[in-house]
């Protein structure tokens, strides 16, 4: 199952390329507009899903999903830190923004 928006099956294709294996030509793929929908489909025996670690909870792993260790995949996606305009100068928001920037700068890239 592929949760990629506008890129049907590209996540599976890239994952297979990273592993050096071919995606079967006859693979029966389902496509979802959001990762949560793909995860929910996997819960109901509709297939296997590639999902971000942060989308899976301990409860998921205890109840219905099985984590299969495999290499990660750098998505190339862009993320934005956002808040309401009226909160942008609040000390808590500034602290969080600074912490997120620091974490991003100190996190090794995929080839490091």
> pLDDT by residue (tens digit) across 16-72?
888 888 888 888 888 888 888 999 998 898 888 888 877 888 888 888 888 877 777
End-to-end CA distance of the chain: 29
Tokens read off for 89: 């100068």
Domain span holding position 110: 79-112
Asked whether 11 and 50 are in contact (CB, 8 A), the reply is yes
Q: How does residue 91 score in pLDDT terms, banded at 50, 70 and 90?
A: very high
Give 3-state DSSP helix, strand, coil % of the chain, rounded to 5.
Answer: 40, 0, 55
Task: Please indicate, yes or no, whether residues 93 and 51 belong to a single structural domain of this protein.
Answer: no
* Residue 101 belongs to some domain of the structure: yes
Task: Please indicate, yes or no, whether residues 24 and 57 belong to a single structural domain of this protein.
Answer: yes
Q: Please count the structural domains in the chain.
A: 2
* Residue 29 belongs to some domain of the structure: yes
Task: Please indicate, yes or no, whether residues 49 and 86 belong to a single structural domain of this protein.
Answer: no
Asked whether 72 and 54 are in contact (CB, 8 A), the reply is no
Element (H, E) at 51: none
């Amino acid at each position: 199952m592929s949760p990629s928006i506008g890129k049907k099956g590209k996540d599976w294709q890239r994952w297979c390329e990273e592993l050096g294996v071919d995606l079967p030509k006859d693979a029966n793929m389902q496509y979802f507009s959001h990762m949560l929908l793909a995860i929910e489909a996997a819960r109901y025996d509709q297939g296997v899903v590639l999902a971000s670690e942060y989308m899976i909870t301990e409860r998921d792993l205890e109840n219905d999903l099985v984590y299969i260790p495999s290499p990660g995949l750098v998505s190339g996606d862009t993320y934005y830190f956002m808040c309401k305009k009226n909160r942008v100068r609040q000390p808590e928001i500034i602290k969080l923004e600074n912490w997120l920037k620091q974490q991003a700068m100190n996190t090794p890239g995929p080839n490091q």
